[in-house]
Amino acid sequence: MIAKRKTIMPDKITMINLVWTAMIAVMLTATVTLYQDKSDLIDLNYPQVTGNYNDLSYY
């Protein structure tokens, strides 16, 4: 006989997926909210950070 699943209590995997999805949604919302007014950062004329790579042979 096959046991019937209880639909009142979601299983662990479903709960983990719901919590993970909610956490990603909150982080995405916070990122959009924090950076929506930061479009004027381009006009601040900061010097661009660059890097140099020197290929030196040690032999």
Which residues constitute the domain of residue 26?
Answer: 10-35
Residues 12-32 pLDDT 10s: 889 999 999 999 999 999 999
Overall size of the chain counted in residues: 59
Residue 16 within any structural domain of the chain: yes
Residue 1 within any structural domain of the chain: no
49 or 35, higher pLDDT: 35
State the pTM of this model.
Answer: 0.49
Residue type, 18: L
Q: Is the model's pLDDT at 43 over the cut of 70?
A: no
Number of domains in the chain: 1
- Output the CA angle 24-25-29, nearest 5 degrees: 115
**Whole-number Å distance between alpha carbons of 3 and 15:** 21
41 or 53, higher pLDDT: 53
